[in-house]
A and B are shown apart, each in its own frame.
Chain A
Amino acid sequence: MLSRVAENIYWMGRNLERVENGARLISVTKTMLLDLPICRAHPHFGWEQLVTITGNSELFHSLCQQSNESSVLAFLISQPDNHSSLLSSITYARNNLRTIRDIFPREFWESLNQLYLYIREYADNGIETGHWDRFLRVVIRKCQELIGLLTGTLSRGTAFDFFRIGQHLERADMTTRILDVRSSYLALHTSDGPFPFAQIQWLNLLRCVSGEQMYRRQINPRITDIDVLSFLLRDRLFPRTFYYCMHEIALALTTMVNSTHPLEHVEQLKQMIEESDLSLLMQHGLSKFMDDLQLALGQLHQQIATTYFSRR
């Protein structure tokens, strides 16, 4: 496989995953804030935490005077200057796919193109208050349809492997970002005791990765901070946990040429998760730990890029 092609497949996987995660994050947060009127305007717990999670606070404040529901949503969905807005991500995914359409099933291009047109139409025309929920749901559903289409029709060769690597690296990255931002508030104790509505916040953490149902059935019908944290990082069965993502990346790398170095990185990441003391981290240092994980993910990306994408 051409290095350029591999790189485009990898980024398409990441960009597509970014669209789905982004849409779910907005949708879940919006539903949650309806329950928490006091939080809505709060700079940390309200809308702006979404911007913080995507790591774009500086850009947001340079573009938007006010931080409120509509400015945050517009920024996250349709702002072309925001490189991780839904519109930007789907546009990048489409551009990635455009140069490698010969590798993927035709129906995949059709569906991805439809999703692009759908998001663009809404982004161009603006979204009415009553239509938010439907729009985001359709976006999530269509992303899942795309992944299902690939799973069902793409040969399990190098193309599929690079797609999986991109997809799971992005997924793991998103999980750490959400945990980083949310948990730093959750770990705070106010003078009146634990952070108010902590349980709702932990529950929504699970929802951000579509994990509520599986968590309750598999782990504990009750929502407890340590169990949720452990589930999101270490669970081996649920396909959006950090550990599972690393496992998928390792599987994809195993059959690939020259994969010794990237595989070592993945093993180190798994080890970091396995050896961490979660209850200690709940007391303090969780945010720092998430930063370390993100740094290590960045190094893994670098390693993969040097091994496979560099065209000297």
Chain B
Amino acid sequence: MTIDWTRYQRTTAFDEMINSDCLARPSTSALHHYLSELGEQSLQQRQQDANNTIIDLGITFTVYSDGDNIDRVWPFDIIPRLLAKSEWQHTQAGLIQRMTAINMFIGDLYGSQRIIRDKVFPAELLADSKNFRPQCVGMKLAWGVWAHICGSDLIRDQHGVLHVLEDNLRVPSGVSYMLENRLVTKRVFPELFDTHNIVPVDDYPSQLYDMLASLTPRPHDHPQVVLLTPGIYNSAYFEHLYLAQRMGIELVEGSDLMVGDDDCVYMKTIAGPKRVDVIYRRVDDLFLDPEVFHSDSCLGVPGLIRAWRNHRVALVNAPGAGIADDKVVYAYIPQVIRYYLGEEIMLPNVQTWKCLDANDRQYVLEHLDQLVVKPANESGGYGMMIGPYATTEEREKMAWCIRNNPRNYIAQPTIALSTVPTLTDEGVQPRHVDLRPFILQGRHSYVTAGGLTRVALRKGSLVVNSSQGGGSKDTWIVED
């Protein structure tokens, strides 16, 4: 049974495979043809194979509200999502431009604050930022980089144009799923790799390791790089393990590390303490060092910030880098790029209203039923309200929150995220997606080939977070 594309219920959003005439777009025609020939039954069979593979591989994630069940199987849709290589090359350049400017911005905020003196960025925003860390003031870092690893969320609007929706600079996650998705697709659709020229994603762990090693405070010795995890109950534990394994570095917990009298960091091994040079930490700033931040945290290492300030150890991302991971700061990125690089932004931002600004706030409060409202400092979709889908009660609650703490909220238009064909109970149907590429910055810059495509599996839903009914897809950058 072949696929009947006339039953494909296109929405008003941009569909990345099927155009308004119900025909395949040129860059996706080979995949479209393949899927049509394969038919729906075989597709369902392959989806089953993929699910079994995922269960066997133990690819899991954690949802905090799910009690004792700390590993839920990763929901994966087998139909890959295609992006043309020419478009991707432009996107990569845009992401590197963005990260370069953001890193200069963070360094400036913890340094001479030129951008504030020149009145491009308001001083009061910095003063109330939850993510500004006074402990970082005056620090100079290797290669001038604070946010070494960034996961930026990209969305495609109804005209098919990619926008940056947000930058995750604290402890962005998802890259392991990108790598695992490719592995699963190779097992399930080996024949597609013959007919498509797909850019491999598999060098990410090597690139990550090289970047981390380039930060060692002892460049003449073999660097000891470790990954610091909060432990098995963290939602991204699978990824911590995966990356440590792929890089061949130690996966440590806070209790495995200590800071010596010489301010160096050591890990506790069966043969005694061993010096650590670079820590890829997947623990939030505030839990890193109980001497400086939350004194009751047992995830961190007492004295770690002291060791970092004395340049005895590199922390990745640097503490305080989250200052730029703030949805209000996001609104200023076009100006930030212009200010530091003298260039225009290559990848546009989504239009953003800042509730801090009286005019913007007025507009937001009057249009709550049309806008997406987000708290400035949350991630994972927590605390967010999608106006058109919210109840009156939810909207009233949000209005109260905004009036109470305007600095903490921004609003954006409800963008109908682009759709791609996805296997559902009703056959192949369009579902909304976003894309999270990962950008590395150390001595050099690197952008993943594609990234993690997250898909809202529920019909009509725009929420792609895995904790809220989202799944993922393998993402292919193909020669066009």
Residue of B nearest to A113 (CB): B58
The CA-CA distance from A2 to B267 in the complex, in Å, is: 7
Encoded as 1 (CB less than 8 Å from any A CB) or 0, chain B from 66 to 101 comes to: 000000000000000000000000000000000000
Q: Is the CB of A303 closer than 8 A to any CB of chain B?
A: no
| Surface stretch bound by A, among B33-41, B247-255, B360-368, B457-465 | B247-255
Cβ proximity bits B257-271 to A, threshold 8 Å, 1 near / 0 not: 000000000011111
Residues of A within 8 A of B161 (CB): none
CA distance in complex: A158, B269 (Å): 11
Chain A neighbourhood of B232, CB < 8 A: 95, 98-99
The residues of A that contact B241 with a CB separation of less than 8 Å are: 98-99, 101-102
Q: How far is the CB of B294 from chain A (nearest CB, A)?
A: 22
Provide the bound-state CA to CA distance between A158 and B250, in Å: 14
**Given the complex of chains A and B, what is the CA–CA distance between A110 and B241 in angstroms?**
14
A1 contacts partner chain B, Cβ-Cβ < 8 Å: yes
0 or 1 for each of A85-128: is its CB under 8 Å from B? (1 = yes): 00000000001001111100010011001100100000000000
Task: Check if B357 is an interface residue, CB within 8 A of chain A.
Answer: no
A2:B245 contact, CB within 8 angstroms: no
B84 to chain A, nearest CB (A): 33
Q: A95-B232, A113-B56 are in contact. Are A102 and B244 (CB under 8 A)?
A: yes
Could you tell me if A257 and B271 are in contact, using CB atoms closer than 8 angstroms?
yes
Whether, in the assembled complex, A4 has its beta carbon less than 8 Å from a beta carbon of chain B, the answer is yes
Q: Interface code B229-255, partner A: CB below 8 Å = 1, 0 otherwise? A: 001100001000100110011111101
Q: Contacts of B55 on A, CB cut-off 8 Å?
A: 113, 117
Query: Does B480 count as interface, using CB distance less than 8 angstroms?
Result: no
Q: Which residues of B contact A257 (CB under 8 A)?
A: 270-271
Does chain A have a CB within 8 A of B344?
A: no
Q: Which chain B residues border A109 with CB–CB below 8 Å?
A: 58
In the complex, the answer to whether B58 meets A3 with C-beta atoms within 8 Å is no
Q: Assess whether B57 is interfacial by the CB under 8 Å rule.
A: yes
Pair A4/B256 contact, Cβ less than 8 Å: yes
- In the complex, what residues of A have CB within 8 A of residue B253's CB? 4
A257 nearest in chain B by CB position: B271
Whether the Cβ atoms of A110 and B56 lie closer than 8 Å is yes
A258 interface hit (Cβ, 8 Å): yes
Cβ contact of B245, chosen from A4, A95, A102, A308, cutoff 8 A: A102
Q: How far is the CB of B304 from chain A (nearest CB, A)?
A: 17
- A3 and B268 in contact, given A99-B232, A101-B241, A117-B55 (Cβ under 8 angstroms): yes
**Residue among B237, B251, B267 with the highest chain A CB neighbour number at 10 A:** B251
Residues of A near B251 (CB, < 8 A) are 99-100, 102
CA of A308 to CA of B250, assembled, Å: 17
CB nearest to A94 among chain B residues: B58
Question: Which residues of B (387-414) have their CB < 8 Å from a CB of A?
Answer: none
Question: Which of B58, B231, B256 is the one whose CB lies under 8 Å from A311?
Answer: B256
Query: What's the Cα separation between A258 and B271 when bound, in Å?
Result: 7
Q: Which of B58, B255, B256 contacts A110 (CB 8 A)?
A: B58
Q: Which residue of B lies closest to A6 (CB)?
A: B270
- CA–CA, A268 and B249, complex, Å: 38
The one of B231, B245, B249, B255 in contact with A101, judged by C-beta atoms closer than 8 angstroms, is B245
Q: How far apart are the CA atoms of A110 and B251 in the complex, in Å?
A: 19
State the CA gap A158–B232 with chains docked (Å).
Answer: 23
Contact of A2 with B268 in the complex, beta carbons under 8 Å:
yes
Is A4's CB under 8 angstroms from B270's CB?
no
B256: A residues at CB distance < 8 A: 2-4, 311
C-alpha gap A6/B201 in the complex (Å): 33
**Would you give the shortest CB distance from B298 to chain A, in whole angstroms?**
13
Residues of A within 8 A of B250 (CB): 2, 5, 102
Smallest CB separation, B53 vs chain A (Å): 10
Interface pair A110/B252, CB less than 8 Å apart: no
Residue from B58, B237, B251 whose CB has the most chain A CB atoms within 10 Å: B58
Known: A99-B232, A110-B57, A117-B55. A3 touches B270 (CB 8 A): yes
Closest beta carbon of chain A to B239's beta carbon, Å: 12
Cβ contacts under 8 Å, A95 to chain B: 232
Q: Is the CB of B269 within 8 A of A3?
A: yes
| Alpha-carbon gap, A106 to B241, bound state (A) | 11
Q: B252: which A residues are within 8 A, CB to CB? A: 2
Determine whether the beta carbon of A1 is less than 8 Å from that of B269.
yes
Residue interface bits A239-266, CB-to-B below 8 A is 1, else 0 = 0000000000000000011100000000
Q: How far is the CA of A307 from the CA of B255 in the complex (A)?
A: 17
Closest A residue to B245 by beta carbon equals A102
For A311, the chain B residues whose CB sits under 8 A away are: 255-256, 268
In whole angstroms, how far apart are the Cα atoms of A225 and B88 in the complex? Answer: 76
Tell me the complex Cα distance, A229–B140, Å: 71
Contact between B58 and A4, CB atoms less than 8 A apart: no
> By the criterion CB–CB under 8 Å, are B269 and A2 in contact?
yes
Interface centre among B55, B245, B248, B267 (most CB of A within 10 A): B245
Q: Quick check: B271 and A4 within 8 Å, CB to CB?
A: no
Q: Which residues of B are found within 8 Å of A106, using beta-carbon distances?
A: 245
- Chain B: minimal CB distance from A20 (Å): 21
Q: Within 8 Å CB of A258, what residues of B?
A: 270-271
B50 CB, nearest partner CB in chain A, Å: 15
B185 to chain A, nearest CB (A): 17
In the docked arrangement, what's the CA distance between A6 and B250, Å? 12
Taking the closest CB of chain A, its distance from the CB of B60, in whole angstroms, is 10
Could you tell me the distance in whole angstroms from the C-beta of B141 to the nearest C-beta in chain A? 27
Q: A308 to chain B: which residues have CB within 8 Å?
A: 270
Known contacts A99-B232, A102-B245, A311-B256; A1 and B270 CB within 8 A of each other: yes
Q: Which chain B residue shows the least CB distance to A98?
A: B232
Given A2-B256, A4-B253, are A114 and B270 neighbors across the interface (CB < 8 Å)? no
Residues of B within 8 A of A (CB): 55-58, 231-232, 237, 241, 244-245, 248-253, 255-256, 267-271
Apart from A1-B271, A2-B252, A307-B270, list 15 A-B contacts with CB within 8 A: A1-B269, A2-B269, A2-B270, A3-B256, A4-B255, A4-B256, A6-B270, A98-B232, A98-B237, A101-B241, A109-B58, A110-B56, A258-B270, A311-B256, A311-B268
Which residues of A come within 8 Å of B, CB atoms? 1-6, 95, 98-102, 106, 109-110, 113-114, 117, 158, 256-258, 307-308, 311
Closest 3 CB pairs of A and B: A102-B245, A102-B244, A257-B271
30 A-B residue contacts at CB 8 Å?
A1-B270, A2-B252, A2-B269, A3-B256, A3-B268, A3-B269, A4-B256, A4-B268, A6-B270, A95-B232, A98-B237, A99-B232, A99-B251, A100-B251, A101-B241, A102-B244, A102-B248, A102-B249, A106-B245, A109-B58, A110-B57, A110-B58, A113-B55, A113-B57, A117-B55, A158-B270, A256-B270, A257-B270, A308-B270, A311-B268
